[in-house]
Amino acid sequence: MKLEARGVKKDFARGGNSGSVLEAVKPLDFSLESGELVEITGRSGSGKSTLLSMMAGMLVPTGGSICIDDTDIYSMKEEERSRLRNDRIGLVPQGHTALRSLTVLENVMLPFVLYHRETPPEDRAKELLQKVGLFDMKDERPNALSGGELRRMAVARALLMKPEVLLADEPTAGLDDENVELVMELLRSAADEGASVLLVTHENEARKYADRVFNMDGGRLCSN
């Protein structure tokens, strides 16, 4: 599956009455192929998370298009785009995104229950928790987990539906070296199994796992 950004840009209106806009992402072209792991680095505020949100179908671009296999995802109805995200895109958002009323295991199984009435794939969820080193905490509530553990849980959750595209925003933030390795190996193996993996980060630890590395600065994407 090919995920492509064509001339995509994003402006945000600045506060106040000046009417000026912030160009968070300047028009750019970018593509992500099956089986590759691409890393976008950049400082905070460089526009990399905005680009990732647009590619995930979560943030409507100001201009240009985001295409999956030549279909503009923003031309789809909201329900179709959501369903596409559930079926084919795994997203690791920034920060903590666990539902605090559910256990760690239930949080990981959550993407499945949104559209399926069958029994959730508990074995796969446990296997993923094992891979991210959280199996022993599967019955804990999220408030018992550290920030790094919550990030790992989010990675496991994003992988549950065996996505064709995996988009990860700072997946290794707050992790120690050992766990960075663990998560990156997991993302790499997802790419090796055929997924298109894009991760944005302002850290350099992931570089050795990436097929291509880009840098983003002031809303512009540059190849490294």
Choices 1-9, 30-38, 103-111, 215-223 (CB under 8 A): range interacting with other proteins: 103-111
Within positions 112 to 131, which residues make up the interface with other proteins, using CB under 8 A?
A: 113-115, 117, 119-120
Q: In terms of CB distance, is 158 or 206 closer to other proteins?
A: 158
- Measure the CA–CA gap between 26 and 179, rounded to whole angstroms: 34
- Contact with other proteins (CB under 8 A) among 109, 156, 165, 183: 109
- Measure the CA–CA gap between 190 and 22, rounded to whole angstroms: 35
CA angle 197, 168, 14 (to 5 degrees): 125
Q: In terms of CB distance, is 78 or 177 closer to other proteins?
A: 78
Contact by Cβ (8 Å): 155, 5: no
Is residue 66 a contact residue for other proteins (CB under 8 A)?
no
Within positions 149 to 208, which residues make up the interface with other proteins, using CB under 8 A?
A: 157, 169
Residue numbers at the binding site for other proteins (CB under 8 A):
49-50, 53-54, 56, 58-60, 78-79, 82-87, 89, 91, 93-102, 106, 109-111, 113-115, 117, 119-120, 157, 169
